[in-house]
Amino acid sequence: MSVEVAVIPAAGRGTRMRPATRVVPKALITVVDRPAIQYAVEEAARAGATEAVIVVDLDAGHLVQQHFLSGGRLPGLEHVKIRPVVQEEALGLGHAVREAAEAVGDRSFFCLLADNIVRPGHDVLGSLEAAADGLSAVCLRRLEDDFLSRYGVIVPGSAERADSTLDVAGAVEKPGPENAPSRLGLIGRYLFTAEIFEILARLKPGVGGEIQLTDAIDDLGRRGRCRGFVAAVDLLDVGTPEGLIEATAVLGENRAASEPE
Ligand code: UTP
């Protein structure tokens, strides 16, 4: 069964991109020639999604909608229905995903963090679908020490198989190098069955007082309901100035190379 809906949480505060994000939502910051959020919708469309549920804050909703719909449909996205959903308060990534529950219903869905853009030619959503095999699946990368305090890290439930998949037995948000259960970090691409919504509805605030998506992944893992896919390359992080510079270089070069003479 193919996945038709993608949830794109884009309602974070974007403090690491101040002052750019004082007025402009982080998801609408331009990377080369289009806003970050458009890359995520295009990626979901390439994987076959026909509906994008974009979780925005109160101010961004109409701007996001205007970007996708004013002046006619964007090329390549003619068949994607854009549905902004408002997260009134930035209570965490898990809370943002929970806000999409009504729009998604009982369907499985891709989840893409808009401030992480895939490198050209390195889409992972299809691999997540294959890895999930009817369960949920999370995209992983082997992390250096520094990153273990900044990402969610999984508890492996099996060895990594030849096809780069493994079972996930749990997850911990920002454990740090001393407490990390592995080096495999969650990197912003997921495929969830709708059971994640029941888990998120019961979650209490975790690290940083936020409702953490990682805590819901922990629950899925403990029940044997989650697989992992270890990606070959990392994503481009446009949520920081340094990351945005790298993303601009990589995506700009790709754009120049693919332009007709
Ligand atoms: P980040 O951890 O990057 O947080 O969120 P942030 O608030 O956007 O940015 P900083 O740390 O203040 O600079 C990861 C993803 O989750 C979304 C963000 O938009 C981003 O895509 N998010 C986070 C929400 O949609 N709502 C939240 O309450 C928190």
Same fold, 1-120 and 124-230: yes
58, 88, 93, best to mutate for ligand 1 pocket (most atoms within 8 Å of CB): 93
Which tops the pLDDT comparison, 70 or 214? 214
Residue 92 CA to ligand 1 center (angstroms) comes to 7
Residue 33: predicted pLDDT: 94
Residue 161 CA to ligand 1 center (angstroms) comes to 32
Q: Is the pLDDT of residue 69 over 90?
A: no
Residue 72 CA to ligand 1 center (angstroms) comes to 29
Residue nearest to ligand 1 atom 1, measured at CA? 12
What pTM was computed for the model?
A: 0.96
Q: Is the pLDDT of residue 71 over 90?
A: no
* DSSP H or E stretch at residue 37: helix 36-46
Residue 46: predicted pLDDT: 97
Measured from the Cα of 55, ligand 1's closest atom is 25
Cα 180 to Cα 142, 144, 150: the distances in Å are 12, 11, 11
Would you say 119 and 233 are in contact if contact means Cβ atoms under 8 Å apart?
Answer: yes
- What the block records as the tokens of 154 is 């999984």
Q: Is the pLDDT of residue 261 over 80?
A: no
Residue 61: predicted pLDDT: 80
Residue ranges around ligand 1 (CB below 6 Å): 9-16, 26, 55, 87, 90-93, 95-96, 113-115, 239
Please state, rounded to an integer, the average pLDDT across all residues of the chain.
Answer: 95
Give CA–CA dist 193/209, Å, rounded.
25
Determine phi and psi for 189, rounding to 5 degrees.
-135, 130
Cα 193 to Cα 92, 104, 138: the distances in Å are 20, 10, 11
1-120 belongs to which CATH class? Answer: alpha beta
Q: Quick one: pLDDT band at residue 259, thresholds 50, 70, 90? A: confident
Residue 232 CA to ligand 1 center (angstroms) comes to 24
Residue 56: predicted pLDDT: 94
Q: Quick one: pLDDT band at residue 1, thresholds 50, 70, 90? A: low
Q: What is the CA radius of gyration of the chain?
A: 17
Give pLDDT tens digits for 56-65: 998 888 899 8
Dihedral over Cα of 225, 230, 234, 240: its sign: positive
Measured from the Cα of 90, ligand 1's closest atom is 28
Give CA–CA dist 191/82, Å, rounded.
19
Average pLDDT of the segment spanning 153-181: 97
Asked if the 124-230 domain carries CATH number 3.40.50.2300, the reply is no
Would you say 34 and 59 are in contact if contact means Cβ atoms under 8 Å apart?
Answer: no
Residue nearest to ligand 1 atom 8, measured at CA? 12
Kindly give the pairing relationship between strand 226-230 and strand 109-112. Answer: unpaired
Domain boundaries, the chain: 1-120, 124-230
Exposure string (b/e) for 242-252, b if CB count within 10 Å is 16 or more? ebbeebeebbe
Q: Is the pLDDT of residue 14 over 70?
A: yes
